[in-house]
Chains A and B, each alone.
Chain A
Amino acid sequence: MWIFVCKPPTDRHPYSLQPYPYLSTVFVLRTLVCSVLFFFAGLAVYGQADTLRLSAWPSFEVADRHLDIAVDSADVVPIERAHTLSFASPGTGFLNGVIVPPATGYRYFYRLVVHNDTPDSAYYFVTASPQRSFAVSVANGNQPPRPAALRHRHHRSDPVTKLADVAFAPGETKTLYVQLKFPHYTPSNMFIWLVEQRSEYYFFTYQIGYLSRQNTFSWFFCGMLMMMFLYIALKYVQIRTREYVYYAGYIFFFLGYFGLKTLVVSGHEWLWHAEWYNGFVNDQLQTAGYVMYFLFFQQFLHTRSLMPDLHRFISVLVVVLPIYIGIDFVLFFFPETTVAKDTLWNVIRVVLVAITLYCIWRTARTRSPLGKYLIIGGLLLAVFALTAMVFSFYPGLIENLPSPFHWGITYFQIGVAAELICFALGLGYKNRQDEIQKLKAEEELKRQEAQVEFERYKTMTQAREAERGRIAKDLHDGLGGMLTGVRLSLANVSPSTPEGASQLRRSLDMLDGSVYELRRIAQDLMPLALERFGLVSALRDYTASVGSMGTVRVAYQTLGDTRRLTADQELICFRLVQELVNNTLKHARAKNILVQLAFQSGALELTVEDDGVGFAPERLREAEGSGWNNIHSRVSYLKGTVDVQSRSGEGVSVHIFLPV
């Protein structure tokens, strides 16, 4: 059985929009897969190196040793540069220190035994960084002091703040206990210095020791950032939307910041000694990241139309911040401005965080569907950053967790990852929205074109039908009337001869034939009964007249409550039946035709069936070009559907469903 289903053109245009629901999901899945891949890449490359480095660093295995302090003129540095040089000149080496194990009931200590072998008294102070991690006590004797006796002063991140003064008489040996309060917490590395205070302006520094910890998670994290960066950059090549550039830039600067930080934490001395890193790059990577974030924010949310005031503000900001980066870079070469430079950075850092929060708040108020990605991402980052900060102040809360969760920075990294994934989701969503928008526009265009085509068809058809109606009426009333009149007059002629009589009879027959032909033509052109009596009657006439030709038997039946339709609909229905019956008469060599009209509430079904030769598939396709096109355009004009069923040798059954 071969069944061919014809759909009218309206069905070929998907007016109900079909968006691509998988796009966003694919986007996120790819990002995640890439991130995971890079986790492993990071593990393979850096995880290995990290382990090696640590195993080669016997930091806490130092035995109790005695070292003299030798004063070397090379260590004399001006005090003004103390801030920046504390990292850069780590001193002459390690003093002896030993970890006192916790079994003694105390915390971890460095015990430093310092001997003054000079003939003069020496004045030193002890300092450490970060200071909240240390407490220092100076004592003579071999027992560590009780914790309560420890002196501790809080001066964050200032390595030259005195934690304890120590005076050495000539030849005196003293034991210093430096307590490491949070052995698990190392934001980058830890330093303990013994600083000689010779005068107000000069001092000597000695690095006593530092801690370095591996953080494989950091490498994973950097790997993820790199993979996201690559992916977004590729995505930009594909999609060419500016927010992808900014987003890639944002990830790039984050990557720089965290990558360098991870190197520092992993104990890459060349980096934490580097002035360019500490004095400039570390801060300015963050600033550049903010610039990219704001640009991304503008582009992603279309703030130009959504929040014009904020848009202008951010536009100014993204010009000001690079200027600041330039100024900072210049100041970097003038060490005397260090304090001012650092202060400026601290102010800007706080302002940037405030502006970011303000942007999130403004976004939340717009209730834009895109905004929620920014808000959720921003809030996640904020929450995790805050968590990291809390843990940095109270490391005891997490010190017993397994690695990497005993690291405060891990939480920050998780926050950043969450934010970036939210942004990626947002981009995916937006991308999908754009696709939908594009699709909608295309749909609209198609719909308009279809509308124009429809109108054109309608106008053309109506004009043609009106013309036909006029001709039919003229034929019928004018010419028909006259022919009839002629016939009637002729009929009254009484011929005098038998030849004349037969001549007259022939003429009358010919006239009858003409009148009959004229009626048929007029009827074909426009069934005048249609307008007067409606579709049901007109089709009854039509089927009767086709049947009266004697070649086929035509059955006509109606179902349901018959009713009048609009003139347009009735004419089209009539034409449909006419076309289908004509097709059958022309091609099918059928004996029977069935025409059925089924009225339903809100719909009319036309069925035309024959028992002729039917369609072979090729024939139908062939026919598609000509007569069927008419049928399709008529049906689609009435927004109906056609169902053609045929099998070679078994006739055709056409079923037309019209919503009327």
Chain B
Amino acid sequence: MIRVFIVDDHPMVIEGIKSMLLQLPDMEFVGFAMNAGSCEGYFANNTADVVLMDINLPDLSGLELCPRLLKKHPGLHIIALSNFDQLSYVQSMKEAGARGYVLKNASADELHRAISAAMEGDSYWLGKDNLKEHWASQQPLLTRREVEVLRLIAEGLTNNEIAEKLFVSASTVDSHRKNLISKLQVKNTAALVKTAVESKII
């Protein structure tokens, strides 16, 4: 039996999750807390396998509570239980040490998969097994303005001339140039033009 503890400030949610858990065969509901303080109080004397943790708590947020609990009880498996479906929350909870992230309106099946994954040393993130995929950084794209500036640089125009041509300030042109240098990962303007020509950007 997997012992599950719930931290949520909403009695209805606790009730709902609890009854959902009770339907699952290998789950045991060991208790709940409605704020971070009483949760820590519970774990001072008791223990559990899995903590379903809400992010919005009245005293501490789940983002803070998670590492605090794990520091004292490294064996805990914490799964975030939240109404936020934004990746920044998912990412932050992951960084805080959580093993999974489940939305509150998830189905019993989903909840079960998340808990099982956590228990088996795996993780579960909003139904996706690999967050990386989602966060994958693309090849940097050049904006149209940057391409235009790049073309004018290649034509040998100075910052001031480009600025005059594009009706912007010279400092704006310079920042475009810096962005280009950082995007194409080159050292200077000459290399910038060379790379741009080689990769057929201009």
Contacts and interface: CB of A to CB of B under 8 A. Distances in A.
Contacts of A492: 16, 19-20, 23
Contacts of B15: 485, 488-489
A210 interface: no
Residue among A511, A527, A609 with the most chain B CB within 10 A?
A609
Nearest to B138: A555
Contact of B13 (A485, A560, A600, A655): A485
Interface stretch (A106-114, A352-360, A535-543, A621-629): A535-543
A537 B143 contact: no
Chain A contact surface mostly: helix
Interface size class of A (residues with CB under 8 A): 35 or more
28 contacts: A480-B83, A481-B9, A481-B83, A482-B12, A484-B83, A487-B16, A487-B105, A489-B12, A489-B15, A491-B16, A491-B107, A491-B108, A492-B20, A492-B23, A519-B85, A523-B86, A532-B63, A532-B88, A538-B88, A560-B179, A560-B182, A594-B141, A598-B179, A641-B168, A645-B145, A655-B143, A655-B145, A655-B172
Interface in B104-141: 104-105, 107-108, 134, 137-138, 140-141
Contact of B144 (A477, A600, A641, A645): A645
A13 B108 CA distance: 62
A484 B20 contact: no
Interface size class of B (residues with CB under 8 A): 35 or more
B138 A488 contact: no
A162 interface: no
A322 B134 CA distance: 97
Interface string A116-156: 00000000000000000000000000000000000000000
A560 B179 CA distance: 8
A651 B143 CA distance: 12
Given A488-B16, A488-B105, 7 more contacts: A488-B17, A488-B19, A488-B20, A557-B140, A557-B141, A643-B166, A655-B172
Contacts of A441: none
A643 B172 contact: yes
Contacts of B20: 488, 491-492
B105 A482 contact: no
Given A484-B13, A529-B89, A555-B138, A653 B145 contact: yes
B114 to A, nearest CB: 15
A603 interface: yes
Interface string B1-30: 000000001111101110110010000000
A560 B105 CA distance: 38
B86 A643 contact: no
B160 interface: no
For the complex of A and B, the 5 pairs showing the least CB-CB separation, nearest first, are A488-B16, A485-B12, A537-B88, A541-B86, A481-B10
Contacts of B159: none
A595 B123 CA distance: 31
Contacts of B86: 523, 527, 529, 541, 544-545
Contacts of B12: 481-482, 484-486, 488-489
Nearest to B8: A481
B143 A594 contact: yes
Interface in A468-489: 476-477, 480-489
A5 B167 contact: yes
B39 to A, nearest CB: 17
B92 interface: yes
A214 interface: no
B71 interface: no
B53 to A, nearest CB: 15
B19 A544 contact: no
Contacts of B72: none
B16 A484 contact: yes
Contacts of A557: 137-138, 140-141
A533 interface: yes
Contacts of B13: 481, 484-485, 488
Contact of B84 (A3, A481, A528, A607): A528
B158 interface: no
B183 interface: yes
B38 interface: no
A212 interface: no
Contacts of B104: 480-481, 484, 487-488, 515
B140 A3 contact: no
Interface in A482-515: 482-489, 491-492, 511-512, 515
Contacts of B137: 557
Residue among B13, B17, B23, B167 with the most chain A CB within 10 A?
B13
Contact of B16 (A485, A515, A643): A485
B29 to A, nearest CB: 13
B68 interface: no
A609 B10 contact: no
Contacts of B195: none
Contacts of A277: none
Interface in A601-620: 603, 605, 607, 609
A544 B178 contact: no
A598 B176 CA distance: 9
Given A484-B16, A559-B182, A643-B172, A609 B144 contact: yes
Nearest to A3: B167
B25 to A, nearest CB: 15
A223 B79 CA distance: 101
B188 interface: no
Contacts of B84: 476, 519, 528-529
A657 interface: yes
B104 to A, nearest CB: 4
A527 B138 CA distance: 24
B164 to A, nearest CB: 12
A537 B90 CA distance: 11
Contacts of B144: 609, 645, 651, 653
A544 B87 CA distance: 8
Residue among B86, B134, B169 with the most chain A CB within 10 A?
B86
